[in-house]
Structure 1
Amino acid sequence: MKKIKGFGGRSYGPSKGEAKGIDLGSIQKVQEEMAKKLEQLEESFSQMEIVSTAGGGAIKVKATCDYRIASIEFDDDLLQDKEMLSDLIVAAVNEVLQEIKKRRDEEMLKLTQGAISL
């Protein structure tokens, strides 16, 4: 490669004695390992359950970390007030979605922090 002279007399580009390149093989290996770990993590999200409640426990929503609602339970007393039932279901589902995002972010952070230390 050719050196380029910059303003102020600085030279840019490779110089003799510098490493002639980055070991692309090791970078590719790390990238493949990271992709495999990421795939395993995505698969594990379907097994991680999050439970959220609303209305002092009158509504209970259970979901997995792959954003699937597993069940919604509610007190029979709420059947008398459809509007309240609807509001509490929405609140509990929104809460469980926030918890899922938080758990996914935590798990991704663990994975990426492990990759940085490689």
Structure 2
Amino acid sequence: MPQPGMPNMQQMMKQVQKMQADMAKAQEELKSEVVEAAAGGGAVKVEVSGELVFRSITIAPEAIDPDDPEMLSDLVLAAVNQGIEAAQELAARKLGAATGGLAGPGGLGGLGIPGF
């Protein structure tokens, strides 16, 4: 018999199991969700899945200047970094909702889940 003020272990286990199922569903959804980012006014665009997998990088012909390859490198780098950040924010929202906020700072950060 549980002592007064002590959590019900069976109820806690059910909550943990539901959270695990919700997280698995959210992680599966992240595979198919894609965010887009751009740099240079759209000269370089990237698409990144919620799992941080790059789906595409598109470079407009006018962004390719043989006399200034550093500019193109900078645009690609900026677009890639924005894409990663957007995908991490998407994962944080999805997984945060699945865990009731436990995925945020001090929560599930040590589990190696992208974005935490």
Please give the range of the TM-score, normalised by the shorter of the 2 chains: 0.7 to 0.9
Contact 2:23–2:99 (Cα < 8 Å) also in 1: no
In structure 2, list runs of 5 or more residues that go unmatched: 103-116
Instruction: Select 1:57's aligned residue among 42, 55, 58.
Output: 42
Q: Quick one: distance in 2 between partners of 1:97 and 1:39?
A: 21
1:71 aligns with 2:28: no
Aligned counterpart, 1:106: 93
Shift of 1:110: 2.2
Aligned counterpart, 1:41: 26
Aligned counterpart, 2:10: 25
Give percent identity, aligned residues only: 26
1:7-26 correspondence to structure 2 within 5 Å: 19=4, 22-26=7-11
Shift of 1:30: 1.0
Give the alignment's TM-score, normalised by structure 1: 0.73
Aligned counterpart, 1:94: 81
Q: Quick one: distance in 2 between partners of 1:70 and 1:46?
A: 11
What is the count of residue pairs matched by the alignment? Answer: 98
Aligned counterpart, 1:3: none
Q: Quick one: distance in 2 between partners of 1:60 and 1:21?
A: 53
Q: Quick one: distance in 1 between partners of 2:7 and 2:63?
A: 64
Aligned letter for 1:34?
M
Give the alignment's TM-score, normalised by structure 2: 0.75
Ranked by relative contact order (alpha carbons within 8 Å, sequence separation 6 or more), the top structure is 2
